[in-house]
Amino acid sequence: MLWGGRFDDKLDNDALRFSSSLSFDINLIEEDILVSKVHSEMLFKIGLITETEFNQIQKGLNQILAEWKDEKWNLKQNEFEDIHSAIESKLTELIGNQAGKLHTGRSRNDQVATDMKLWIRKVLQNIIELLTVTQKVFVTLAEDNVETIIPGYTHLQRAQPVSFAFHLLAYVEMFEADKNRFKNILTEIEECPLGSGALAGSTFSLDRNFTAKKLGFKSPTTNALNSVSDRDYLLDFLNACSIGMMHLSRLAEEIILWSSSEWELISLSDKFTTGSSLMPQKKNPDLAELTRGKTGRVYGNQLSLLTTLKGLPLSYNRDMQEDKEPVFDSFKTYFSSLKIVMMMMQTVKIFKERFLNELQNDFLLATDLADWLVIKGIPFREAHEVVGKLVKYCEDNSKTFGDISLNEMQSINKIFDKSALECLNIKTSLQRKKTYGSPNPKLVKKQIADWKKRFNAK
């Protein structure tokens, strides 16, 4: 225990197990040891510990980290409150009572706040790198599917034709927005809490600028009270994970649809599908379904921490120990889901001709035909009604745009001529798009080139 002088009895074993955070804040062991090493270096620099004591502490901390990595140090949750007390206990075992000097001028409050910022900084880099890898996979797929026509949907009803490349690039943009959200958090954690103490700083002349610089921060925090109670950056991290999972869940839903017998647009690799215990023919998109399902737990983690913090007075309260589990879990869930989705799409097979004939006989080009009428001078609302009547005529006579003759079109409106029939050619539909941001193949190729240029520049 890091406390106990004013207590007659030791903490009850059940109470210790209930209150211990060791099972999850073990994730902070590397950060905690790093912070302790830098803190001891600062204590030596300002003369609060001797060079011999400094060297003993450094050697002991290095040994603890090595033993943990080599799995020679087995930690038991029923023995320690947290990773900080476990490390100090182990350090005392290795170098004796000199280990107690390491805690000079610091509290677990500022220690854990610093640990968490360092951990978040580390995992943010990992997430941003994986998002970039995922974007590259999608851009590569898009480059190979610029001419692959699929139906675009609104209200889950067929609306207008797009290319599969165009659809994939929409997710590339989503992933870029995710990256920016995570990057923004990096700007929130540029100040170092170490040296804030429990809530009111220290009577020692601690060199907070030294420790901040050594740990890679821009500067020390300015208000000790806020430093130890601030968890806003964790809420932003959980929010970024939630939005990221929402994007993955939407994609997972589409992967499930695309791989169904009704769509037959893609075939997932056997490495990322499962079978049925009853039906031999089944090939189930379970990994996509699990990604969709895990989104709920990430949402729950965000709400959990919001609820924990909403009624807490400043500064530190033990409730705040509950910040770590949801953060660690959301990172693990989001990162693993993103990796699975990336690998699924990396190995997917796409049936490029799947919709070509089917859409030729569909009504997806109704808007193109209405636009043709507008060019001929008819107001759009009138053109909309004319094409609507044409669609109704086709439905009443069991016909499609691919079956209807020019005479039949002219029976609806005399303005129709042979050039109107070109508007009903699915193969040239995308080339007719003119606006920036549309699925015109030239514009899509330009988007792809721009993304590749951006990736190469980083």
Tens of pLDDT, residues 24-77: 899 999 999 999 999 999 999 999 999 999 999 999 999 999 999 999 998 877
Structure confidence at residue 36 (pLDDT): 98
Helices (H), 259-354: 286-309, 324-346
Report the share of the chain in percent with pLDDT over 90: 86
CA 262, 263, 264, 268 torsion: positive or negative? negative
Confidence check: pLDDT of 380 > 90: yes
pLDDT in tens, 216-254: 999 999 999 999 999 999 999 999 999 999 999 999 999
Structure confidence at residue 296 (pLDDT): 97
User: Band of the pLDDT at 80, cuts 50, 70, 90?
Assistant: confident
Q: What is the mean pLDDT of residues 430-447?
A: 96
Structure confidence at residue 34 (pLDDT): 98
Q: What is the mean pLDDT of residues 123-127?
A: 98
Strands (E), 120-229: 149-154, 157-163, 191-192, 219-220
Report the distance separating Cα 395 and Cα 442, nearest Å.
Answer: 34
Computed over every residue of the chain, the mean pLDDT equals: 94
> For residue 313, which of 381, 225, 252, 377 has the smallest C-alpha distance?
225
CB 206 within 8 A of CB 192: no
Read off the tokens for 192: 């170092």
Structure confidence at residue 6 (pLDDT): 57
Report the distance separating Cα 213 and Cα 216, nearest Å.
Answer: 5
Structure confidence at residue 19 (pLDDT): 73
Structure confidence at residue 18 (pLDDT): 78
Count of CB atoms situated within 10 Å of the CB of 172: 20
Q: What is the mean pLDDT of residues 284-291?
A: 96
Report the distance separating Cα 396 and Cα 399, nearest Å.
Answer: 8
CB 143 within 8 A of CB 444: no
Structure confidence at residue 14 (pLDDT): 73
Distances (CA, A) of 12 to 75, 79, 80, 89, 412: 19, 11, 12, 19, 87
Which residues have a catalytic role annotated?
Answer: 155, 276
Confidence check: pLDDT of 458 > 70: no
Confidence check: pLDDT of 404 > 70: yes
pLDDT in tens, 289-346: 999 999 999 999 999 999 999 999 999 999 999 999 999 999 999 999 999 999 999 9
User: Band of the pLDDT at 3, cuts 50, 70, 90?
Assistant: very low
- Going along the chain from its start, the domains and CATH numbers come out as 13-104 (1.10.275.10), 109-203+213-356 (1.20.200.10), 358-456 (1.10.40.30)
Confidence check: pLDDT of 377 > 70: yes
Report the range of poorest mean pLDDT among 9-23, 338-352, 403-417. Answer: 9-23
Report the range of poorest mean pLDDT among 217-221, 278-282, 294-298, 431-435. Answer: 278-282
Structure confidence at residue 357 (pLDDT): 86
Structure letter (DSSP) for residue 10: P
Structure confidence at residue 29 (pLDDT): 96
